[in-house]
Amino acid sequence: GFELPGEIEAVLYDEGELIEAGAVVARLDTSILQAEKAALVAARDQARAATELAAITRRRMRDALEREAAS
Q: Are 2 and 28 in contact (CB under 8 A)?
A: yes
The mean pLDDT of 49-53, rounded to a whole number, is: 99
pTM above 0.75, yes or no: no
The mean pLDDT of 43-64, rounded to a whole number, is: 98
3-state secondary structure of 32: helix
Per-residue model confidence (pLDDT) at position 1: 65
